[in-house]
């Protein structure tokens, strides 16, 4: 009895377990191929911008299948629907992704496209066994050009409730043109003089400059916008409306680029030059012209890139191509770039300034006239010539800045006297001759020093080291010193010999016999 009761209880527990499993364990789909969408079935895109729908298909069977996707509709003159795979093969347990991309023309008007997507599935080892999976997707296309084109609205905004004969699109067009003409006249005859009168009373000239710059571009944009806005009221073709708006967008970008450069050059660079004139640094004086030229290059390039984007070109590819061209140009112009970076280095290190005197490695003494980003202009003070030296040559060679740390200069003047001259007298006369010149420094820290430098073949050589008050006087001091020294030597019987050789014959008699 007890065993029978235990069996009954075990049976009840097994039955409960089976009910629980059936209730809470998900059921396995009986479909041979499962398909489901990834993302939304309803999308919105702008005309000319592709949109994509994606499905995941899974082979839930034990046999392989070939799947062919189709779309209804597939294309017409304004759009096309294309799958990334014309067909795919799926073996048991495999899953595949398939994407349908819908491309529309930029001239397309506001539309809602509905696509019936069919996945025709055929068993590979039994061609007669086939079935399909169906899906419906929807794409809402927002127009890019002429969203309100053809509407009988004044200025494209207000309903045309005018009486005949102005109650049609032509009437709305005529009235809109008249309103835009009145607006332009108001800006020219009223708004512009009022703004000019207001800005003329302010203390700053910035507002006057900005008003002068933007007057022309703003009026031009107003005329262009009014013309396009009025023409769109007429029942024109979509392609013509797209061409009109595209032309206006291109003109708008060009005018904005022109306006940006005028503000950049007329305001920013203008104030940059004013600030640079107040500083002692030469870096800003050199960098400002570079920035001005950089604006002439960067602003048109940006405008061109935006215009190419309007025409549907891939800017990433264009930028990559420009980067490659930059590498090629950089390799071809490496000497120019070396001079440029050497100029930048000199701008920040400042080894010399405009007006400094430099002694080059060939001995020439030149005055710095201009430091550019490619070359430095030097004035040869001896030959009255302008010397253009590439910045890279200056950066890689020994250059002596003669005005650093100051303009004082110590020169060396050598002189030779005949053998037999009194050395002390010669040194005293040489020092007194230097002290007699007003351009020579004579303070305790800058005394003239005379040194007995050499026993030469024909003379005793002495060198005077003389401090000159200004390096511009070095050649005058050297000349005046030699003249004064010659006069003092003559007054004291000191002879400056000319080169001579003395030949001694020890035994003249033997020489005559020989």
**What are the structure tokens assigned to 65, written together?**
């299948």
Instruction: List Cα–Cα distances, 146 to 110, 156, 251, in angstroms.
Output: 10, 10, 17
**What are the structure tokens assigned to 163, written together?**
């009486």
| Residue-wise pLDDT tens digits, 34-73 | 988 998 999 999 888 899 999 999 999 999 999 999 999 9
Task: Write the DSSP string, 391-453.
Answer: HHHHHTS--EETTSS-S-EEEEEEEEE-TT--HHHHHHHHHHHHHT-TTB--SGGG--EEEEE
Confidence (pLDDT) at 24: 41
Are 394 and 464 in contact, with CB atoms under 8 Å apart? Answer: no
Total count of domains within the chain: 4
Residue 358: name the closest of 308, 329, 393 by CA. 393
Task: Write the DSSP string, 338-388.
Answer: HHHHHHHHHHHH-S--TT-EEE-TTS-EEEEEEE-SSEEEEEETTTTEEEE
- Specify if 501 maps to a domain: no
Under the banding of pLDDT at 50, 70 and 90, the label for residue 101 is: very high
For residue 203, is pLDDT > 80? no
Residue 347: name the closest of 379, 389, 376 by CA. 376
Residue 55: name the closest of 116, 100, 121 by CA. 100
For residue 246, is pLDDT > 70? yes
Pairwise CA distance, residues 360 & 385, whole Å = 14
Residue 463: name the closest of 419, 429, 413 by CA. 413
Q: What percent of the chain has pLDDT over 90?
A: 22
Q: Tell me, what CATH number does 395's domain have?
A: 2.30.30.60
For residue 117, is pLDDT > 50? yes
For residue 436, is pLDDT > 80? yes
For residue 499, is pLDDT > 70? yes
For residue 8, is pLDDT > 70? no
- Specify if 173 maps to a domain: yes
Same domain (yes/no): 441, 369: no
Same domain (yes/no): 304, 193: yes
Confidence (pLDDT) at 63: 92
Pairwise CA distance, residues 405 & 403, whole Å = 6
Same domain (yes/no): 378, 301: no
Please tell me the least confidently modeled range out of 144-153, 197-206, 224-233, 416-425: 144-153
- Specify if 21 maps to a domain: no
| Residue-wise pLDDT tens digits, 204-213 | 777 778 888 8
- Specify if 326 maps to a domain: no
Q: Which of 260, 287, 319 finishes a domain?
A: 319
Q: Which residues contact 492 (CB under 8 A, 6 or more apart)?
A: 425, 429
Instruction: List Cα–Cα distances, 434 to 73, 378, 415, 426, 481, in angstroms.
Output: 107, 33, 13, 13, 6
Same domain (yes/no): 377, 430: no
Pairwise CA distance, residues 228 & 205, whole Å = 35
**What are the structure tokens assigned to 337, written together?**
């770039």
Domain span at residue 456 reads 409-491
Same domain (yes/no): 178, 219: yes
Q: Tell me, what CATH number does 105's domain have?
A: 2.60.40.2310
Q: Which of 354, 371, 401 finishes a domain?
A: 401
Rg of the chain over Cα atoms, rounded to whole angstroms, equals 47
Confidence (pLDDT) at 503: 67
| Residue-wise pLDDT tens digits, 382-430 | 888 888 888 888 777 788 888 778 888 888 999 999 888 889 999 999 9
**What are the structure tokens assigned to 441, written together?**
């420094």
Confidence (pLDDT) at 510: 55
CB atoms within 10 A of CB 505: 9
Same domain (yes/no): 239, 217: yes
Under the banding of pLDDT at 50, 70 and 90, the label for residue 16 is: low
pTM above threshold 0.85? no
Same domain (yes/no): 78, 210: no
Same domain (yes/no): 78, 186: no
For residue 286, is pLDDT > 80? no
Confidence (pLDDT) at 507: 61
Pairwise CA distance, residues 132 & 83, whole Å = 17
Same domain (yes/no): 138, 157: no
- Specify if 228 maps to a domain: yes
Task: Write the DSSP string, 493-509.
Answer: T---PPP------S-HH
Q: Tell me, what CATH number does 442's domain have?
A: 3.30.70.100
| Residue-wise pLDDT tens digits, 443-453 | 888 888 999 99
* DSSP helix, strand, coil percent of the chain (3-state; round to 5): 45, 25, 30
**What is the chain's mean pLDDT, rounded?**
81
- Specify if 19 maps to a domain: no
Same domain (yes/no): 43, 135: yes
Confidence (pLDDT) at 56: 94
Confidence (pLDDT) at 84: 92
Same domain (yes/no): 201, 236: yes
Under the banding of pLDDT at 50, 70 and 90, the label for residue 21 is: very low
Same domain (yes/no): 160, 300: yes
- Specify if 504 maps to a domain: no
Please tell me the least confidently modeled range out of 12-21, 127-136, 384-393, 404-413: 12-21
Q: Which of 354, 376, 401 finishes a domain?
A: 401
For residue 3, is pLDDT > 60? no
Please tell me the least confidently modeled range out of 31-35, 187-191, 370-374: 370-374
For residue 193, is pLDDT > 80? yes
Q: 63-100 b/e with 16+ CB inside 10 Å = b?
A: eebebbbebeeeeeebbbbebeeeebebeeeeeeebeb
- Specify if 180 maps to a domain: yes
Are 53 and 39 in contact, with CB atoms under 8 Å apart? Answer: yes
Most confidently modeled range among 140-154, 218-232, 491-505 = 218-232
């Amino acid at each position: 009895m007890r065993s029978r009761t235990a069996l009954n209880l075990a049976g009840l527990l097994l039955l409960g377990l089976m009910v629980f499993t059936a209730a809470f364990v998900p059921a396995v789909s009986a479909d041979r191929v499962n398909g489901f969408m990834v993302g939304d079935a309803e999308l919105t895109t702008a005309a000319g911008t592709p949109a994509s729908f994606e499905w995941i298909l899974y082979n839930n069977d034990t046999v392989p299948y070939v799947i062919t996707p189709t779309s209804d509709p597939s294309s017409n003159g304004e759009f096309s629907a294309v799958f990334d795979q014309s067909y795919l093969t799926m073996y048991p347990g495999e899953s595949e992704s398939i994407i349908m991309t819908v491309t529309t023309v930029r001239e397309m008007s506001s539309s809602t496209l509905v696509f019936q997507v069919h996945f025709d599935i055929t068993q590979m080892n039994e061609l007669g066994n086939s079935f399909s999976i169906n899906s419906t997707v929807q794409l809402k296309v927002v127009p890019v050009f002429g969203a309100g084109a053809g509407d009988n609205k004044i200025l494209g905004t207000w309903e045309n409730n005018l009486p005949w004969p102005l109650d049609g699109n032509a009437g709305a067009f005529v009235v809109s043109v008249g309103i835009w003409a009145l607006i332009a006249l108001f800006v020219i005859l009223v708004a512009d003089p009022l703004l000019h009168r207001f800005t003329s009373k302010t203390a700053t000239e910035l507002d006057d400059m900005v008003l002068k710059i933007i007057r022309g571009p703003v009026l031009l944009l107003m005329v262009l916008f009014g013309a396009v806005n009025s023409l769109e009221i007429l029942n024109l073709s979509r392609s013509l409306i797209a061409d009109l708006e595209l032309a206006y967008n291109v003109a708008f970008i060009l005018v904005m680029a022109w306006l940006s450069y005028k503000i950049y050059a007329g305001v920013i660079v203008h104030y940059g030059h004013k600030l640079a004139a107040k500083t002692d640094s030469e870096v800003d004086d050199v960098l400002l012209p570079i920035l001005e030229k950089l604006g002439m290059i960067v602003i048109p390039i940006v405008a061109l890139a935006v215009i190419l984007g309007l025409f549907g070109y891939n800017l990433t590819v264009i930028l990559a191509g420009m980067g490659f061209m930059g590498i090629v140009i950089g390799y071809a112009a490496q000497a120019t770039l070396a001079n440029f970076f050497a100029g930048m280095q000199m701008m920040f290190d400042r080894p010399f300034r405009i007006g400094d005197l430099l002694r080059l490695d060939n001995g020439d003494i030149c005055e710095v006239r201009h430091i550019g980003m490619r070359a430095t202009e030097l004035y040869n003070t001896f030959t009255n010539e302008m010397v253009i030296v590439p910045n890279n040559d200056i950066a890689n060679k020994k250059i002596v800045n003669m005005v650093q740390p100051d303009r004082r200069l110590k020169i060396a003047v050598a002189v030779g006297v005949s053998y037999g001259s009194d050395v002390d007298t010669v040194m005293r006369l040489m020092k007194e001759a230097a002290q007699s010149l007003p351009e020579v420094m004579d303070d305790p820290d800058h005394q003239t020093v005379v040194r007995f430098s050499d026993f030469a073949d024909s003379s005793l050589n002495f060198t005077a080291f003389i401090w000159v008050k200004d390096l511009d006087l070095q050649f005058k001091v050297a000349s005046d010193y030699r003249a004064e020294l010659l006069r003092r030597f003559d007054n004291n019987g000191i002879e400056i010999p000319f080169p001579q050789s003395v030949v001694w014959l020890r035994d003249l008699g033997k020489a005559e016999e020989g």
